[in-house]
A = this chain, B = another copy of it.
Amino acid sequence: MHAARSLHQSEPPALPAPYLLFLGDTVEPGYAKTAFGLRDWAPERCVGEYLLPGARVSTGLPAMSPTQAYAAGARALVIGVANAGGVIPEHWVAALITAVEAGLDIISGMHMRLSELPALQRAATCHGRELIDVRRPPDKLPIATGRKRSGNRLLTVGTDCALGKKYTALALARAFTSRGLDADFRATGQTGILIAGGGIPMDAVIADFAAGAAEMLTPDAAAAHWDVIEGQGSLFHPAYAGVSLALLHGSQPDVVVVCHQPGRDRVLGHAHYALPSIEDTIALNLQLGRRTNPRIRCGGVSLNTAHLDEDAARRLLAAESDRLGCAVADPIRGGAEFEALINECLG
């Protein structure tokens, strides 16, 4: 057996930790979701960050070389960015090899397998380090049956990629648990899997099995149980709508929460596409989701207001709640709006 391995539910991962977060020479914050997610939701496992010249994105964690990070306790370098296409650029490889030489395993959530980089593979073999691809789905996935499953399911959906679907699901799962409910966060992307320690990378699944993967991710459960499922993409996205529809059909949500970033009016990376309205996003998710769960309803809206000050954010949440006629909250800010959203989700 070689050093690469895959992670999925029936084979619980024991990822080496803590992490050094690698950001390469990234200039687009939207591509650094993984690094930001780990910083915010698994801070105890992040010792620092490692940037290459030209980088204009930072997590705010201490800058460290791989050698410094190893000395500070790190045991793995996590590639904390996901560019379009999921390819690891050639000019990152030398830095990754440095990390292997410093004693770190490499964890990647990119489409491209780490084992496809021969020089890195040789270095890992030579130094006895592991190359771990968390974006590799389970080998055996079922075709979706469409059969209704027991238990309750909430899916976060969105007007676009990279605007808060994972954060919203994490915050809702944590809030449900805090209220004494039996709830699981179900990860569908690389960052969520790194945070949760399990899940299925929906976007890496073969298309015919995508809805089946969503069914497998959220199996029959006790009547009072909640699965809080991380959404992917958007039904309006010119590249990823198919993934979003498969996840909507397969996860059979009882409740969807629509995520949006106020002010964003174009699709990220596809500037010739206008973003859909929140109302259209609610309507289309309910229209299409009804096919596998006729009882689907909207639990409310999650706005990413990180760019606003506290007063402006609270005013916007109130105004949008009035306009849309449903709960509107920023889960990261919490407060009464978030409590109202939780209440509306639980019905």
Contacts and interface: CB of A to CB of B under 8 A. Distances in A.
Interface stretch (A45-53, A165-173, A206-214, A217-225): A206-214
B85 A236 contact: no
Contact of A241 (B85, B204, B249, B273): B249
Contact of A143 (B210, B239, B273): B239
Contacts of A146: 238-239, 267, 270, 272-273
Interface string A210-247: 11100000000000000000000001101111111111
B243 A207 contact: yes
Interface in A263-317: 267, 270, 272-273, 288, 291-292
User: Which among A205, A238, A288 has the highest number of chain B CB atoms within 10 Å?
Assistant: A238
Contacts of A244: 242
B243 A242 contact: yes
Contact of A208 (B204, B247, B267, B273): B204
A111 interface: yes
Tell me if A's interface is mostly helix, strand, loop or mixed: mixed
A242 B238 contact: no
A206 B208 contact: no
Interface in A133-175: 142-147
A281 to B, nearest CB: 12
A130 interface: no
A143 B207 contact: no
Q: How many copies does the complex hold?
A: 2
A205 to B, nearest CB: 5
A203 interface: yes
A126 interface: no
Contacts of A84: 143
A257 interface: no
Contacts of A147: 272
A267 B206 CA distance: 22
A77 interface: no
A210 B232 CA distance: 15
A246 B143 contact: no
A211 B202 CA distance: 15
Instruction: Enumerate the 4 nearest inter-chain pairs by beta-carbon distance, A residue then B residue, closest first.
Output: A242-B246, A146-B238, A144-B239, A203-B208
30 contacts: A85-B143, A86-B208, A111-B206, A111-B208, A144-B239, A145-B238, A146-B267, A146-B270, A202-B207, A203-B208, A204-B207, A204-B208, A206-B207, A207-B207, A208-B239, A210-B243, A211-B238, A211-B239, A211-B240, A212-B239, A236-B291, A238-B249, A241-B245, A241-B249, A242-B242, A242-B244, A242-B245, A242-B246, A242-B249, A245-B245
